[in-house]
Structure 1
């Protein structure tokens, strides 16, 4: 593991940009960007369009290492080029931004109030390829829709089992057990989740992990996770909040930094001129970075 990169992620100011929309969420991301389904005719054209969107974001002068620590990529993006470099190499060598890779294959059906990750039958092949492409870390998502002790324990156990495999390849896994922000027992679910995360952290050897969590109902609720020797960083997803609301909630949580997707690109569309695009993106980045400073 590169200690320079690890130190940057552990200690520097900034946030992580989530640019990892996958097959299921890509049409929605493109609609938000102003590209309709009528603008492409098949999956290949759809992914071309989303790579054009990501390339425009990543190559913007606003998207730089002053305020952005890392960027999470979709698997296909890892093998695409930005100018003459693979995306991860462009991010690190040109922009000084650490590349992460989304490795999960989506969510299983809800059972006992949670959605586990679908089986990742080719995970180790993907991790070997990620190492070849100079990826720094990974991200994988599960969803909690009920304060179910049994369900949450299963989610956390699955996440840590996979995280250990990922860490064995010298990559830093981001564990993302998202608590649905709309559920009535969100605070109770977070209590159960934190307890399970702390128990599983205590069982690690020398692995280093990160967490991507919903912004908690109780401010500073995850400080104990941040202090654990195995935890590089704790980051927050926007979870459906508007950018303004997500920033407001995030700013109340000391040490918690953003890893926003929809909230990052809110109001950014293909129809904007380059000057308008860069200005809007800069405004978003400035606001999210400021909320991540607390």
Structure 2
């Protein structure tokens, strides 16, 4: 399912102007047991990595095939690599998302976080990145990527290192014909969160000005302590959209904080799946997911 230029343009327009949010369905190896436990699947219920990933794929497929998971409210979805390589109802996951749900597919590409240094965690090295990007774009019809680093303290040197790395990876994604979601997360528990966000905003603005026309990005950020802090980034000509991560806030708190930021839309993971359980009937599961989707959608308007 190679990327079609007309489809890409339509997807880009949906991401830039659509009403709704991005579903983050990209928990990776380290966070999968936690995500399954939240979903009511105990570690004793699966044996080994293959079965664990099988369980999480079933959970994601259940979410994606739910009646309310359509582009009426869900603009895009971020997938883990194994999910991209899996299928839903006989179709590759990304193809199912776009053709059956009208939802734009993204791929998480980072390999996790390096150890903390200068108050931040940059991304670990990504061997084979170019091959993965070409595979995602050419063989799976992926529109964009997501890559995450974390800022713990208002350390100017550390924050600059995070942003520089994000843009370096972002340029590789753009070269492969996709739109990167740069995700320099600020830890919601940081004692210097507000100061860190001010430094981050300035660094992002500086790096955005180095992008040429056509080198477009999205940015995924922690909901700022000062509402509207990132409005200028959202208005930058190289920015398709600024999206918000839930960062550990409950669904209600994340939505309440997001609603004060008119130029950000949600890209929530935990908040989307909050309260969902494998043991629920389909009716109960779909009703609760529909309620979560609606809350996040309303906060993103």
3-state SS of paired residue (2:271): coil
Match of residue 229 from structure 1: 237
Match of residue 32 from structure 1: 38
- Provide, for residues 250-294 of structure 1, a one-character-per-residue CA deviation record: whole Å limited to 9, x for no partner: 00111210000001110000011000000000000000000000x
Match of residue 263 from structure 2: 255
Question: In the alignment, which of 275, 278, 283 is matched to residue 283 of structure 2?
Answer: 275
- Can you give the 5+ residue segments of structure 2 that lack an aligned partner in the other structure? none
Question: How many angstroms apart in 1 are the aligned matches of 2:277 and 2:244?
Answer: 24
Question: In the alignment, which of 110, 114, 117 is matched to residue 111 of structure 1?
Answer: 117
3-state SS of paired residue (2:82): helix
Question: How many angstroms apart in 2 are the aligned matches of 1:130 and 1:180?
Answer: 29
Match of residue 211 from structure 2: 204
Runs of 4+ in 1 over 6 A off after TM superposition: none
- Provide, for residues 14-45 of structure 1, a one-character-per-residue CA deviation record: whole Å limited to 9, x for no partner: 00000000000000000000001000010000
Match of residue 99 from structure 1: 105
Question: In the alignment, which of 151, 165, 178 is matched to residue 172 of structure 2?
Answer: 165
Match of residue 144 from structure 1: 151
Question: In the alignment, which of 211, 219, 224 is matched to residue 216 of structure 1?
Answer: 224
- Can you give the 5+ residue segments of structure 1 that lack an aligned partner in the other structure? none
- Provide, for residues 186-241 of structure 1, a one-character-per-residue CA deviation record: whole Å limited to 9, x for no partner: 00000000000000001111200000000000011100001100000000000000
Match of residue 197 from structure 2: 190
Cα deviation, residue 170, structure 1: 1.1
3-state SS of paired residue (1:245): helix
3-state SS of paired residue (2:172): helix
Question: How many angstroms apart in 2 are the aligned matches of 1:218 and 1:38?
Answer: 44
2:80 matches 1:74: yes
2:254 matches 1:246: yes
3-state SS of paired residue (2:54): helix
2:69 matches 1:63: yes
Question: How many angstroms apart in 1 are the aligned matches of 2:221 and 2:53?
Answer: 27
Question: In the alignment, which of 54, 72, 75 is matched to residue 60 of structure 2?
Answer: 54
Instruction: Give the TM-score normalised by the residue count of structure 2.
Output: 0.97
Cα deviation, residue 184, structure 1: 1.0
Q: How many residues align?
A: 293
Question: In the alignment, which of 89, 96, 108 is matched to residue 95 of structure 2?
Answer: 89
2:272 matches 1:264: yes
Question: How many angstroms apart in 1 are the aligned matches of 2:236 and 2:292?
Answer: 31
Cα deviation, residue 121, structure 1: 1.4
Cα deviation, residue 169, structure 1: 1.1
